[in-house]
Structure 1
């Protein structure tokens, strides 16, 4: 995931190592910065606070990768390890279980301001559907299908249309 001004985060230490190596060859004022961050962990995500607010977030598959993980249960037992956005509604019920993409969206709230945009490339036509807490902070302003490359098929076989999806979410 890339935040502007040019802050790259990745879960993979190897991806961060390679990114840093490539950026060492760039003019320092043009180089992107890399951090290893688990975007499901507020302790990790909160390390991005010094670089905020972000006006643009570029997500090229991060939401899809996170979507494959298990839902996260957030309890109020350790208030310092909870995103302030989640604290605001979870405190009244003592905690909440969130799908991983909704958790990501809520973690991004303290780093953005009204009008900030989150651009997401996804394989899913429903990546942000049925996430009630997300809709309190983010509005889907575009959901555009993009033709995906098709693999080889047997001669004469019908290949179903396959799409990638470009989402643009705007912070309320």
Structure 2
């Protein structure tokens, strides 16, 4: 089985195949659930962080905002970012060519003398970064504060699924990010403690630092009915993703204090036509009826707890 948490896997995949590909559901599905949230919460000026953009059809996300710069597409595989930027530029060029052709026809019809050259529309933001890396997160946090606004929405289509495949990460606690400066008292003692923490706990703390308290949302589409180990009921063991009491006491903030599950809903997928080969394989495995395939939409809301460095 591929190591979906490995940078090497994703670099190799994107270098070999640059064609647009969307995991689980089309990019339009992510756009639509985001549009619903924007309309429900009056977030027309939202700053949007799209994590694990990959080679998804990110272009459709431009429809969500008046200024494409409000959308920040992030992936930790450099080839994916390069592919996304190039594809957006190509699509913008095609749209611009169509617009100029329409202008030319209008001018001919109206017997005007010239065609004015127009500039390409502004592009979305693109960055290659690892949001499990503390320094990267702190730098992005600082950059957003300097720009005057944290993110309002985090979009995640199976990125948490990939990250959740990874091994626990080795940390030295107390952690630099804390809730309301709590770990500063621990840091003052001068004692440190090593710990191994599930990557989704780390991602949740980092995203909390980057999003607006009390109103920020994390929209995650996942194949798993039980994706986030920081949401109750908590897993029984560390092997299942439980954040240990020792890690919390040593200074790692519990993500449950930062995120609450607002809604969790099933996404039913349209059944595609089954090929003869697929039917034969299903019957050979003893499955008489085709199983219903569905995924899950999680909407997590930021609490009012401040994350400070």
For Structure 1 versus Structure 2, the TM-score category normalised by the shorter chain is 0.7 to 0.9
Q: What TM-score do the two structures reach when normalised by structure 2?
A: 0.48
Q: What TM-score do the two structures reach when normalised by structure 1?
A: 0.82
* Change in CA separation of 1:5 and 1:160 when aligned onto 2, cut-off 3 Å: same
Name the larger-Rg structure.
2
User: Which structure carries more strand by proportion?
Assistant: 1
> Contact 2:156/2:218 (CA < 8 Å) preserved in 1?
yes
1:37 aligns with 2:146: no
* Offset at residue 95 of structure 1 (A): 4.5
User: Structure 1: where are the runs of 5+ without partners?
Assistant: none
* Offset at residue 66 of structure 1 (A): 0.5
> Contact 2:176/2:183 (CA < 8 Å) preserved in 1?
no
User: Which structure carries more helix by proportion?
Assistant: 2
Counterpart CA distance in 1 for 2:88 and 2:290 is 41
1:2 aligns with 2:95: no
1:119 aligns with 2:214: no
1:98 aligns with 2:197: yes
Count residues with an aligned counterpart. Answer: 167
2:293 maps to 162
The correspondence of residues 1-172 of structure 1 with structure 2, limited to 5 A, is: 2=50, 5-25=70-90, 26=92, 27-29=120-122, 31-49=123-141, 50-51=143-144, 52-76=149-173, 82-85=175-178, 88=182, 91=186, 94-112=193-211, 113-129=213-229, 130=234, 133-148=254-269, 152-154=278-280, 157-172=288-303
User: Structure 2: where are the runs of 5+ without partners?
Assistant: 1-48, 52-68, 93-119, 235-241, 244-253, 304-309
Greater RCO structure (CA 8 Å; 6+ sep):
1
* Offset at residue 23 of structure 1 (A): 3.1
